[in-house]
Structure 1
């Protein structure tokens, strides 16, 4: 695995932990950090010995407090668009990773940090977590997918209010609107994320991979096309040893032993 300056990559058996490691700037996303995240997730996606990824931030204050404003301040329109394209490519590398990605949100997840969490499959928040897209306070809009993923997750009305007001919400409100899956004490955050990861890793690796791609791709289609797509993907499961083992184990009333 590549050596990084702004992020840390660690593995715990089949679980990868990616930590954005710029606590002095509340893990803000600058150009170098985005580039490292993109490379890291592209490499992870091709590592079939890894089943689940946990993404978090260093320290106890921030997951990611946003994109680096000092880096963005003097950009022109062309440079701004190029920076947004880089951010989008990072979010897509997370969304398109073959493994499920769990965001362990350990503090501020604002702007690009909220968008980073939105690109993950599952979001677990600590009780001190804060979420928001405050870009309108800076004279800009979200540029890493916030105007698109947030409405798809929480609905257009709630997303529009958050995007137009720039309001910051706590973890309780984030759970209420469906932005996060669970809220846990900070000292239980990584344990909870790894517990979910371990449960996912106990299932059929091929089924999990197909399920993730079916969810992601199907959400881009109308319901009729999505259902047809699901049927095709369902059929693909029957071309694997996992399907034979899973169904045989069920009928024999024993735990399945899937090939890892």
Structure 2
């Protein structure tokens, strides 16, 4: 595995690794990150001793902002090859099936694909004051593509899933804990110590037992993979429609994917540029 450029890998021990997302300016998910995570997962799956991976962020304001929407070549490829499973969809399914414990330690914004990533991990711990999670895609006239319509109901229930996906709002650590979006929210100053202690405890146990637990829990909690492909296909179909293009164009002009107020307060900004009959994409 070549040295990653989208995250920092720290191997604390043979049993415990840490992946720290580090993709300035706002920790976007992109094709390069997906490829590098896949390479990491290949290493993880081949290990006889690895028990736990922690996923955290080097940026206190952005855990993973969302997917990079600026690559027009990706849209053309997706529309030309509808039979393919999108790499992000495949990666999240692989993450959920890794034969080890995966822990998200959330500080900063995890929206869109960032939220989808943490939903695919086994356990989610959040900073009470500094974690922000949500699915904003409805504000861009699109369904969330990475599977939250399938993963959220088991965590938060049907009604709250609709609230999250229909509303496109942010949820702070405290409310996310109340809803079940995250396992628990801790005071920010306690988050790192708690996660380290918990992960070290899990990593001290028998690896095969951890794998057995993961296997049997997955048997009753994982959804059919076809659901995830259908949701991603619906997302990319939306990206090809005038409504999504209209919102995206105006958000990019205002500062989307830059370190800007748009990214800091995205749910508010998406409501400024909604598409109506007669609107045009220049």
Q: Sort the TM-score into its range (normalised by shorter chain).
A: 0.7 to 0.9
Partner of 2:89 in structure 1?
Answer: 88
- Structure 2 residue 159 is matched with structure 1 residue 157: yes
CA distance in 1, matches of 2:141, 2:23: 25
CA distance in 2, matches of 1:202, 1:3: 27
Moved more, 3-12 or 101-110: 3-12
The count of corresponding residues between Structure 1 and Structure 2 is: 220
CA distance in 2, matches of 1:180, 1:84: 27
Task: Classify 1:83/1:146 alpha carbon distance in 2 versus 1 (closer, same or farther; 3 Å).
Answer: farther
Q: Which has the higher contact order (CA 8 A, sep 6+)?
A: 2
CA distance in 2, matches of 1:61, 1:140: 25
Q: For residues 22-48 of structure 1, what are the alpha-carbon distances to aligned partners after superposition, in whole Å with 9 as ceiling and x for unaligned?
A: 131x11101111111122122212212
Partner of 1:217 in structure 2?
Answer: 219
Partner of 1:201 in structure 2?
Answer: 203
CA distance in 2, matches of 1:142, 1:214: 28
CA distance in 2, matches of 1:118, 1:8: 21
CA distance in 2, matches of 1:73, 1:169: 32
CA distance in 2, matches of 1:153, 1:169: 15
Task: Classify 1:178/1:58 alpha carbon distance in 2 versus 1 (closer, same or farther; 3 Å).
Answer: same
- Equivalence map 1:21-32=2 (5 Å): 21-24=22-25, 26-32=26-32
CA distance in 1, matches of 2:204, 2:74: 49
Task: Classify 1:84/1:72 alpha carbon distance in 2 versus 1 (closer, same or farther; 3 Å).
Answer: farther
CA distance in 1, matches of 2:206, 2:165: 38
Kept in 2: contact 1:2–1:40 (CA 8 A): no
Q: Please give the TM-score of this superposition, normalised by the length of structure 2.
A: 0.72
Alpha-carbon offset, residue 126 of structure 1: 1.0
CA distance in 2, matches of 1:170, 1:182: 12
CA distance in 2, matches of 1:118, 1:132: 11
CA distance in 1, matches of 2:62, 2:83: 26
Three-state SS of the structure 1 residue aligned to 2:210 is helix
Q: For residues 88-112 of structure 1, what are the alpha-carbon distances to aligned partners after superposition, in whole Å with 9 as ceiling and x for unaligned?
A: 1111121111110000111101000
Kept in 2: contact 1:72–1:80 (CA 8 A): no
Alpha-carbon offset, residue 71 of structure 1: 2.8
Kept in 2: contact 1:52–1:200 (CA 8 A): yes
Partner of 1:49 in structure 2?
Answer: 49
Alpha-carbon offset, residue 20 of structure 1: 1.6
Alpha-carbon offset, residue 11 of structure 1: 0.8
CA distance in 1, matches of 2:44, 2:219: 20
CA distance in 1, matches of 2:185, 2:36: 28
Three-state SS of the structure 2 residue aligned to 1:104 is strand
Root mean square deviation, CA, Å: 2.2
Partner of 1:253 in structure 2?
Answer: none
Kept in 2: contact 1:42–1:97 (CA 8 A): no
Task: Classify 1:22/1:148 alpha carbon distance in 2 versus 1 (closer, same or farther; 3 Å).
Answer: same
Alpha-carbon offset, residue 84 of structure 1: 6.8
Three-state SS of the structure 2 residue aligned to 1:144 is coil
Partner of 1:244 in structure 2?
Answer: none
Partner of 2:257 in structure 1?
Answer: none
Three-state SS of the structure 2 residue aligned to 1:42 is helix
Three-state SS of the structure 2 residue aligned to 1:23 is coil
